[in-house]
Chains A and B, each alone.
Chain A
């Protein structure tokens, strides 16, 4: 394989105290694309700032591709501008006094050697920003700005790309202006990438080999994505809109006439919008948002929803927001979360051990299913 195997993409062991918050992280990974997952406030961005050299940890050691950039005992601290790290932030952080072209080429002004992996034209084409080059920053949409920020980072010829929730400040429509480009970057380039997200579906679309999970300033998991997915407790505790569960299924067949694919989850069927490049027998993960699940006591007979999964109630507990209740079901040995209102709970009265039908629209599962879990 490539030389990424010889050197670890990243290896770190650092401690940093910021007021009440303490970051104490150890992890190493040699995969090219690494996902860093954790809820808001877990320390994801702080850890990235340490890797990028924007914050100096109190103690420890950081190695990027085998090169030591920080070591408190040896007194090494390579400043950010010498680390060759492409950093894409939550907000685009473009230079308002420069036009798009000069924003993109900003990093090349300081590059000593011309060893760019990809040329200006290639990157502009990949990100589809050719039409914007002469524009000023002010009039651009959030998605356009974020693409330019990605291009700007790539053109600085980085040795490592850090993506700090680059989609977090974008609404759903704008996300689709950026996500496909990130997917191409993740799949096609040779650039090591650390992608940070608090949304598991986003994360898995990009980082399909190695995931590190961080919580309360500590790395609680670091390993192959498949192992990560096998530990649902790592996903638990996701806040609000993001709450959900992952179902592992197998592709049975495509239904081209309807543009759907049929999955088997144990003995039960699941219809999802067509999974373009999988074949029968492939293993697929589907992320089901708890808010998209409807519970019913009996199998609904006349309904447009295609998916009815039968399972037993495991637990019922009120959600933090005050008006919702989280119901956990066991579907063929897999966990499925449903979030329903307190009013619905009063009507339905689900109790642990009872059998329930989970009704899920197939359309709610668009963008939620992946096959590209390499090495599974």
Chain B
């Protein structure tokens, strides 16, 4: 049904999007926690920075990443020399671009679910002997789970569909950074490539719907457990 090239594109896309959400989740939890609970006035600035990828043209984000993290970029050279990390024109770059573009979409539902938690219930847990980290693990995190799942799915879908920042920062290299949307774009550019593009489009739709369905399933189960 699918040829080897299509399977490669699909696998690469899932790897890129999966890596993007796995690595952004811890940071998203911390940022969402900070935005939900901090009383510091300057948190508006943090909020704006987090939302920036949502309003900036993706190409701009991609270009800024290139300036910052390209091999000759402000930080890219240092990262490569000392940590062996390379992003530009590499699949990790596609994951980074996808992760950054999906970040605001991940933070928002987590923040909302954290804000909905009754802090007095956390205080009750404290009086029962739970130190702050244990309160987090046994009360806060389970109660925020629906928001975390929603954030994961939204960010995953966003990373899967990421185009502008990816093509600018990581380029369109077959087998390395050519994810589903880039492959579709490439086929459409080639005369007679429409049938293959159409197949990839169907794959895109199926993967996205599956992610939505799966998250809905988990969210329902969590909700049933919590009431």
Q: Is the CB of A81 within 8 A of B130?
A: yes
Q: Which of A80, A91, A136, A149 has the most CB of B within 10 A?
A: A80
- Which stretch from A106-114, A201-209, A312-320, A359-367 is at the chain B interface? A106-114
Chain B interface residues toward A at CB < 8 A: 118, 120-121, 123-132, 134, 138-139, 142-143, 225-227
Q: Which chain B positions have C-beta within 8 A of A336?
A: none
Q: Which residues of A contact B132 (CB under 8 A)?
A: 81
B227 in contact with A85 (CB, 8 Å): no
CA distance A91 to B119 in the complex (A): 13
Q: Is the interface of B mostly helix, strand, loop or mixed?
A: helix
Contact with B along A88-114 (1 / 0, CB 8 A): 010101111100000000110111000
On whether A107 and B128 interact (CB within 8 A), knowing A89-B120, A93-B120, the answer reads yes
Residues on B with C-beta less than 8 A from A94 are 121, 124
- The 8 Å CB contact of A152, one of B118, B126, B128, B131, is B128
Measured between beta carbons, the chain B residues less than 8 angstroms from A43 are none
- Interface pair B142/A81, CB less than 8 Å apart: no
Contact assessment for A110 and B134 in the assembled complex, using a CB-CB cutoff below 8 Å: yes
* 6 closest residue pairs by CB, A with B: A110-B129, A107-B128, A87-B127, A93-B124, A138-B227, A80-B126
Q: In the complex, how many angstroms separate the beta carbon of B113 from the nearest chain A beta carbon?
A: 12
- Contact assessment for B129 and A107 in the assembled complex, using a CB-CB cutoff below 8 Å: yes
A contact residues around B129 at 8 Å (CB): 81-82, 84, 107, 109-111, 156
Taking the nearest CB of chain A, how far is it from the CB of B144, in angstroms? 10
Write the nearest CB–CB distance from A121 to chain B, whole angstroms.
Answer: 19
The answer for the CA separation of A342 and B211 in the assembled complex, in Å, is 69
A192 nearest CB across to chain B (Å)? 15
Assign chain A's interface to a size class: 20 to 34
Q: A89-B120, A91-B120, A110-B134 are in contact. Are A96 and B227 (CB under 8 A)?
A: yes
The answer to the question of A5 belonging to the interface, with a C-beta cut-off of 8 Å to chain B, is no
> A54: CB under 8 A from chain B?
yes
A110 touching B124, Cβ below 8 Å: no
- Give chain B nearest CB distance to A141 CB in angstroms: 15
* Cβ–Cβ < 8 Å partners of B131 in chain A: 79, 81, 110
Which residue of A has the minimal Cβ distance to B121?
A: A93
A96–B226 CB distance below 8 A: yes
| Contact between A95 and B139, CB atoms less than 8 A apart | yes
Complex CA gap A343/B183 in Å reads 86
Q: How far is the CB of B29 from chain A (nearest CB, A)?
A: 17
Task: Give the docked Cα–Cα distance between A87 and B130 (Å).
Answer: 13
User: Please, how many angstroms separate the alpha-carbon atoms of A150 and B134 in the complex?
Assistant: 21
The answer on a CB contact under 8 Å between A95 and B123 is no
Query: In the complex the two chains form, is A97's CB within 8 Å of B226's CB?
Result: yes
Contacts of B130 in A (CB 8 A): 81, 106, 109-110
A106 proximity list for chain B (CB < 8 A): 125, 128, 130, 138
Interface check A86, CB cutoff 8 A = yes
- State A153–B126 Cα separation when bound (angstroms): 11
Indicate which residue in B134, B138, B139, B227 contacts A136 across the interface (CB closer than 8 Å).
B227
- With beta carbons under 8 angstroms apart, the residue of A82, A93, A109 that contacts B118 is A93
Q: Scoring A residues 61 to 95 as 1 if CB is less than 8 Å from chain B, else 0, what string do you get? A: 00000000000000000011111111101010111
User: Is A244 in contact with chain B by the CB < 8 A criterion?
Assistant: no
> Chain A residue with minimal CB distance to B134?
A110
A30 to chain B, nearest CB (A): 23
Bound CA span A96–B146, Å: 13
Residue numbers in B under 8 Å from A84 (CB-CB): 129
A52 on the interface (CB 8 Å rule)? yes
CA distance A82 to B120 in the complex (A): 18
